Chain A
């Protein structure tokens, strides 16, 4: 850790000791959430999410492919997230880091486990189904990529219009039908810094963070969880954060409704 990181880290801890955060938010407050859809016209669906100064962009492409042999009547959904080298000074070109792979897999897992996209509706004909590729690009990093990327992927899916399938190929010029969405999964990620737990960490807070817990829910049940970093959580802390996560689900949903016509 360089000197500046050490100074920033002790500043964040000092503030939390007084029950404060660097941007004066409450412990379980999200930063301002802004969701815009229809950003990339060429894509079947797209969304840009600004979560404070964190900015991510998600695009959806649908491709007719052969189904997996064990699910011949269902399509596929593949969500991945990428940390672009232009998103932060510490990001570098080259193969994805373990951190990037974890992010990508956690975002995919929540949406997959929730069954947000009705895979049966992606069946085209015997031996042909739609594969839905959701690629999330991190454009500017200021913490909490897990929640920002999940929001962007979900928003892009709700914005997706399915191409027509004719003469054995996708007709990308005719995209009328909405992609059927069964539920919207939301993600809440908590950072534990010393003995304090906060929601929606900034980059400075993540620099001081000991442990991280992501909880993804569709509002009915918990769909996926991921604990990260070397710190620990007690079981009672986790129980409490699950309650917060269900409460926040409703707040985040309201942002989805706002942008929908």
Chain B
């Protein structure tokens, strides 16, 4: 949450600064299978966010003492490029924020990947934020989910993520950077669409019970659109393959 000082108006004529309605997503575009070396990959643009996700493995878990003889382990690295933000030069390497995001992202995929299929193995999920404009952890999870499917890793579901927030009395979907900096609440969530279970939930700011219920509904209702774009990205890989032949 930003300071109340110099707080910009986040709503004009009942619309958000970028002209969106309260429950409207920013434009979302996903391309799957764009990196040759990775087992699976995805490039995502979500508003001004640009995100690359790649999956390596399943492969022998290293170091060996990390291996689990009953199932695969997931390693996850979320990282922001030093040039990704409008302000300053970011430090290279993961900071404490990135380590926390990597941890909760890893836990999302531990829920849906069929780890028991690959005992003794590791699956690596790399998320690189090339350009950031708010909601990058949600964008990273949505991209990594497509990359895992593109890698042919067996999963119970294709997870998506998006954040909800609050501007004054209004609950809003998919908060961008300026809204994130000055809004009254921010809540990134990851959802397993087959049962609407919550796999990631973080929140700070302030939500009444009623506002929270409204926010969670918005996130679940947005699933249809996001999941559709994820599936289309995966279908396109094979359509394009046929055309190449």
Residues of A within 8 A of B203 (CB): 222, 224-226
Q: Is A73 part of the contact surface with B, judged by Cβ < 8 Å?
A: yes
Q: Are A231 and B111 in contact (CB under 8 A)?
A: yes
What DSSP secondary structure best describes chain B's contact surface? mixed
Residues of A within 8 A of B204 (CB): 109-110, 112-113, 223-225
Q: Is B96 part of the contact surface with A, judged by Cβ < 8 Å?
A: yes
Q: Is A198 part of the contact surface with B, judged by Cβ < 8 Å?
A: no
Q: Is A228 part of the contact surface with B, judged by Cβ < 8 Å?
A: yes
Q: Are B202 and A223 in contact (CB under 8 A)?
A: no
Task: State which size class the interface on B falls in.
Answer: 35 or more
Q: Are A73 and B100 in contact (CB under 8 A)?
A: no
Interface residues of B (CB under 8 A from A): 1-3, 5-6, 96-97, 99-100, 102-104, 107, 110-111, 187, 192, 195-209, 211-213, 216, 220
Known: A98-B103, A234-B195, A238-B198. 9 other contacts (CB 8 A): A71-B5, A114-B206, A213-B201, A221-B206, A222-B207, A224-B203, A226-B201, A227-B200, A246-B209
Q: Are B196 and A235 in contact (CB under 8 A)?
A: yes
Residues of B within 8 A of A230 (CB): 107, 110-111
A73-B5, A98-B99, A105-B97 given as contacts; is B199 within 8 A of A222 (CB)?
A: no
**Nearest chain B residue, comparing its CB with the CB of A104:** B96
Task: State which size class the interface on A falls in.
Answer: 35 or more
Q: Are A113 and B212 in contact (CB under 8 A)?
A: no
Measured in the bound complex, the distance between the Cα atoms of B166 and A168 in whole Å is: 41
Q: Are B209 and A222 in contact (CB under 8 A)?
A: yes
Residues of B within 8 A of A105 (CB): 96-97, 100
Taking the closest CB of chain A, its distance from the CB of B161, in whole angstroms, is 12
Taking the closest CB of chain A, its distance from the CB of B187, in whole angstroms, is 7
Q: Are B111 and A227 in contact (CB under 8 A)?
A: no
